[in-house]
């Protein structure tokens, strides 16, 4: 297995005292991130909010950090990450935030330090895009949006 990428993390003042991202089990792919809110944030049903983590990440070139939902919040409360997965690019140096949405039927309160999402570190490939007159044929062709069946 190759060396693990090192992600430098700077805590902003409003994240003081909160845990850094952490894996909750030995086989976990995602590390939980926490809400760096000063006051509880109530998400009404169908409401969304940009929830701060108070973390700035120094991600090595060739890697990204994906912000993903926590399955427990989704299953129990209907709360998920709206733009899942959200991408934190290697050259971004602002605060990592999670766009949470409440698809549940009851208000959901986000408390300070609550685990609100998980992050997955993944390698990135970039491509060279070029205009062409034709693309190659394939068995599927232009079929999409359910064309391969249910």
78 is in an annotated binding site: no
109 is in an annotated binding site: no
Nearest to 101 by CA among 57, 66, 69, 147: 69
71 is in an annotated binding site: yes
148 is in an annotated binding site: no
By the 10 Å C-beta count (0-12 exposed, 13-18 middle, 19+ buried), 120 is classed as: middle
Report residue 77 CA to chain centroid gap: 18
72 is in an annotated binding site: yes
Cα-based angle 148, 66, 21 (whole degrees, multiple of 5) = 145
83 is in an annotated binding site: yes
Contacts 24+ apart (CB under 8 A), 3-7: 5/59, 5/60, 5/63, 5/121, 6/60, 7/57, 7/58, 7/59, 7/60, 7/65, 7/121
User: In the structure encoding, which two tokens stand for residue 22, read together?
Assistant: 């952490």
What are the binding residues? Answer: 70-72, 83, 87-89
Residue stretches of the annotated binding site for substrate: 70-72, 83, 87-89
């Amino acid at each position: 297995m190759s060396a693990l990428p090192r992600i430098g993390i700077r805590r902003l003042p409003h994240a003081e005292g909160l845990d850094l991202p952490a894996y909750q089990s030995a086989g976990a792919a995602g590390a939980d991130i926490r809400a760096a809110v000063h006051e509880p944030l109530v998400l009404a049903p169908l409401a969304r909010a940009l929830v701060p983590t108070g973390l700035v990440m120094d991600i090595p070139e060739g890697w990204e950090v994906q912000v993903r939902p926590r399955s427990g919040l989704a299953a129990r409360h209907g709360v998920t990450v709206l733009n899942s997965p959200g991408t934190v690019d290697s050259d971004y140096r602002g605060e990592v935030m999670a766009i949470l949405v409440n698809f549940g039927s009851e208000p959901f309160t986000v408390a300070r330090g609550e685990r609100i999402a998980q992050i997955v570190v993944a390698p990135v490939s970039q491509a060279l895009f070029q205009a062409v007159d034709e693309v190659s044929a394939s068995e599927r062709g232009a079929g999409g949006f359910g064309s391969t069946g249910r």
